[in-house]
Amino acid sequence: MRIGYLGTGSWGFCLASLLSSKGYEVVSWTTKPDLANLLNSTHEHPLLPGLPCSGNIRFTTDMQDVLAGADLIVESVTSAGLRPVFTQVAKIAIPNCPIILTSKGIEQNSGLILPDVAVEVFGKNSRHQVGFLSGPGYAQEVIKGLPTSVVGSAYDAEVMRKVCDLFTTPTFRVYPNSDIRGVAFGGALKNIIAIACGVSDGLQLGSSSKAALMTRGLHEMRKLAVAEECKADTLNGLSGMGDLCVTCSSTMSRNYRFGAMMAEGLSPEEARTKIGMVVEGAYTCLSALQLAKQKGISMPISEVIFKIIEEGMNPREAVKLLMQRSIKEEHL
């Protein structure tokens, strides 16, 4: 099988390595010529020092080369970059093979989950080809072969099975879940709550505070997802609660670090620069609140994170705002 891989960040590099280790021919696309040359010569990503890729991956800036003869396409760009990249793909040719997404986010203004963005770009006839991989996994751990479990989903049952079979290894377990919308919403919304937990830890508010943020954060995630016709149980699984646990608790999470840096006094712009990678939760926060407004749903944690990022609210004032909310009966 020949796999065309779009995106060479740390997660894309890690998953391309996983696929290559299974014997698949992988050609990976990047917009950066210097990065392609470095990866072809060293087989080691600058964000993953000392962790070379397995198998034989070829890196290029030529998208036509990546797409030519591909039996399957995998995407690992960014939520904001997905539509522009897929539009570029469509100008070359509408894919006639499965298209597996691994980015997590909700498109701003349209409110579309990323699998639906793919369908909109490639046309309704492509819907049965679109699959999704999501769940709690870090490139630094997966590429080392540490045990990891995630979720594979798709609009079509056969493509869902293919996602699971394609990525499963002795140390990377992929569970099927047919609720692709729920899987996508879980992966996107947990990044906002991770920023909140980073703020909490940056302010040294303690374990009880973070436990409350994660629990009430999951409640926010589930409310919006159910309003978007997802299954509530999906948000309790690996792509919801599982991803939430790891992202809110690890310094490997850029969303968590982003929140912690702002709590320590850095501006959002300074924190982004220091992290050096896209902070998906910051992008998705606006998208989530746009959808919540349409559905008449209150998402107080997401609202204060938006105020910190976009309106310059002091993180300590944001915490006070949450604590001063009227108390209602807990319904989960």
pLDDT in tens, 162-191: 999 999 999 999 999 999 999 999 999 999
The span from the CA of 115 to the CA of 102, in Å, is 10
Token pair for residue 106? 């909700």
Whole-number pLDDT of residue 325: 75
Using the predicted structure, report yes or no on whether residue 326 has a pLDDT greater than 80.
no
Q: What is the band of 332 on the pLDDT scale with cuts at 50, 70, 90?
A: low
What is the pTM assigned to this prediction? 0.94
CA-based nearest residue to 115, from 175, 38, 185: 185
Q: Which two tokens stand for residue 281?
A: 């939760």
Euclidean distance between CA atoms 184 and 180, whole angstroms: 6
Give dist(CA 265, CA 199) in Å, integer. 10
- Give the pLDDT of residue 320: 85
Stretch 286-310: mean pLDDT, rounded? 95
Could you report how far apart the first and last alpha carbons of the chain are, in Å?
45
Structural contact between residues 286 and 307, judged by C-beta atoms closer than 8 angstroms: no
Domains along the chain? 2-178 (3.40.50.720), 181-323 (1.10.1040.10)
φ, ψ of residue 159 to 5 degrees: the values are -70, -35
CA atoms within 13 A on the CB side of 247: 34
Query: In which band, very low, low, confident or very high, does the pLDDT at 324 lie, cut at 50, 70 and 90?
Result: confident
Question: Quick one: pLDDT at residue 319?
Answer: 86
Q: Is the pLDDT of residue 55 over 90?
A: no
Structure tokens at 117: 């963005």
Listing DSSP states for 287-332 in one string gives HHHHHHHHHT---HHHHHHHHHHHH---HHHHHHHHHTSPP-----
Please report the pLDDT score of residue 249 as a whole number: 86
What was the pLDDT predicted at 322? 85
Structure confidence at residue 219 (pLDDT) = 94
Q: Identify which of 52, 319, 302 has the alpha carbon closest to the alpha carbon of residue 195.
A: 302
Strands (E), 31-120: 57-60, 72-75, 99-101
Output the CA torsion 190→193→195→196 (10° steps): -170
- Lowest-confidence pick of 69-83, 94-108, 275-289, 311-325: 311-325
User: What is the Rg, in whole angstroms, of the alpha carbon atoms belonging to the chain?
Assistant: 19
- Cα separation, 277 vs 254, in Å, equals 8
Positions marked active-site = 190
Q: What CA–CA distance (Å, rounded) separates 146 from 138? A: 10
Is the separation of the CB atoms in 29 and 5 below 8 Å? yes
How far lies 78's CA from each of 6, 85, 152, 188, 284, in Å? 10, 9, 19, 11, 11
Which pLDDT value is given to residue 172?
98
